[in-house]
Structure 1
């Protein structure tokens, strides 16, 4: 019996130790990397071939709705031998290699957190190209979602506590304390932040719930809405004998996509704004949110004024802010 009791105690201690090991969290370092930057890991003979061309075609493609071409991601290329140590802690990684396997998948938090590593393998170059072509959209969406979440975490460190949006529209946004509420009207709130050479801006207003009911005129109706809001609330420079205000650029129609924001269906609109009667322009991103509970369309728009400056990262931050919207 004494021997049996000793064995039982030993079994209990082993079981207890095993449970502790399972419950112990494995520490992973904080991921590294600039926002909207992807580390591309592959051998140089692939990077300099049509495989690298296919990567650049998708991951460095021009963003729609920008005044000039800017890439979707900045790409940091590195050969496999460099992908060691802290280099493995990059937040967004695309790993491409020849292998006996033909696979494409995304790994989460493999070496650091948050982290997405997209792995593409193939037995020859054509299989690699096919896998990139077939999986690029899913990988890009995963990278962008991670980057949006990272941007939102960064500006959570110092949030503006102004309640103008909540009091006027019953919505909340997380935006950095450097943004200030600059204008409030009956159906309009304008928040902006100074940046080098210009400003980042967010505006909010409501439209009736039955707006945009005709699909055939949807884009024209959006342009008409933006132009009327610009005329009423967003003046341009004070020029003698001229009336200047923000409008939608006339040369190109904006791009429209289906979206979900604040757990509600929405239209995402990307395009270029300009000032009527004055040479000023820049990109805008608008969300027209279907708020059925309040019988309205809630409109959030971010736009940037920054002459002769790349605007991708400014617009990305505005997108990250608007995607924090919550409805009371």
Structure 2
């Protein structure tokens, strides 16, 4: 009998603790912070030391594929003594301190939701620096994933209702209502929005499933594909005696990474576009997605034209839109 009572007691205690934790999550405030910002909580002296150098090396590295260097995060450093109140509600936090423990882990929703808090502790500077380098790739991915999900949630407040992507390719994306379809062809859709000094653009088209079969020519084939699409559908200023259209920048090859987009294997391509006969350029992000169910490669791309303007956050918005792609829309109705 006593044994049963003890077991019941611990079962009820566990249930109460679970309810308490869930209740805390339910009542956490909404996280705050501008896009791609990182709050680094660290002692001022550590920040000025080689530990701070290691943080800056990893978290303020340049975003690949932009027209000039822009850090992947805008970092704000604050000492632990003032880490309280609304500052704790920042969505992305890196907490670094010397301690009797040597630990490195990521926590979720500690002070607000959604929120990621990377905790790095070490018994000396050497251990801290080792933990910074060891975890930066994973932590950065966690912070970026959080930012992408927050952006996609914002988009749903006012979505574009046009059906061009659905009609042409049987796909959908969470595209804000400020974007408008500007061009539709048999195998091409162009959607764009005006910004203060230019425009932001999304294009979509398909390639045969057996495209890009040779790894040795993969990058060259991507460039050839993009330049062909530009020649067909993305003209530039009229230049007498010349055909002016979008091409991939000739001076540098684009960056190519393996990726996954909405559950499908893909290639991520980042680089610079330019016009073939006119001095215009800007960054692009392309996903070439293995859409095996439909026996095709689905190509979705975002690119920006915004001269003399920082473009990191523009490209991040386009990335969030592209990563919201959903397939086989007709089967979900």
TM-score by length of 2: 0.92
Tell me, in whole angstroms, the C-alpha distance in 1 between the residues paired with 2:230 and 2:93.
41
Tell me, in whole angstroms, the C-alpha distance in 2 between the residues paired with 1:30 and 1:262.
26
2:71 corresponds to? 71
Give the deviation of 1:86 after TM superposition: 1.1
Whether 1:158 aligns to 2:158 is yes
Give the deviation of 1:206 after TM superposition: 0.5
Describe the SS at the equivalent of 1:175: coil
Whether 1:103 aligns to 2:100 is no
Whether 1:22 aligns to 2:19 is yes
Give the deviation of 1:21 after TM superposition: 8.5
1:269 corresponds to? 269
Describe the SS at the equivalent of 1:260: strand
Tell me, in whole angstroms, the C-alpha distance in 2 between the residues paired with 1:300 and 1:315.
13
| Superposition map of 1:148-227 within 5 A | 148-227=148-227
Deviation string, structure 1 residues 245-304 (Cα, Å, up to 9, x no partner): 000001000010001112111000000000001000000000000111111100000000
Whether 1:311 aligns to 2:308 is no
Whether 1:230 aligns to 2:227 is no
Give the deviation of 1:55 after TM superposition: 0.3
Tell me, in whole angstroms, the C-alpha distance in 1 between the residues paired with 2:232 and 2:167.
22
1:62 corresponds to? 62
Tell me, in whole angstroms, the C-alpha distance in 1 between the residues paired with 2:45 and 2:253.
41
2:331 corresponds to? none
Tell me, in whole angstroms, the C-alpha distance in 2 between the residues paired with 1:20 and 1:278.
65
Distance 1:21 1:249, change over 3 A: closer
Give the deviation of 1:25 after TM superposition: 1.9
Larger radius of gyration: 1
Deviation string, structure 1 residues 221-251 (Cα, Å, up to 9, x no partner): 0000000000000001122332110000010
Tell me, in whole angstroms, the C-alpha distance in 1 between the residues paired with 2:16 and 2:217.
62
Describe the SS at the equivalent of 1:46: helix
Deviation string, structure 1 residues 108-132 (Cα, Å, up to 9, x no partner): 0000000000000000001000000
Give the deviation of 1:81 after TM superposition: 1.0
| Superposition map of 1:271-290 within 5 A | 271-290=271-290
Once superposed, what is the RMSD of the aligned Cα atoms? 1.7
Segments of 4+ moved more than 4 angstroms: 18-21
Describe the SS at the equivalent of 2:70: coil
Aligned residues: 316
Give the deviation of 1:19 after TM superposition: 5.4
TM-score by length of 1: 0.93
Describe the SS at the equivalent of 1:158: coil
Is 38-47 or 24-33 further displaced after alignment? 24-33
Tell me, in whole angstroms, the C-alpha distance in 2 between the residues paired with 1:242 and 1:59.
44
Give the deviation of 1:198 after TM superposition: 0.4
1:3 corresponds to? none
Describe the SS at the equivalent of 2:165: helix
Tell me, in whole angstroms, the C-alpha distance in 2 between the residues paired with 1:143 and 1:83.
19
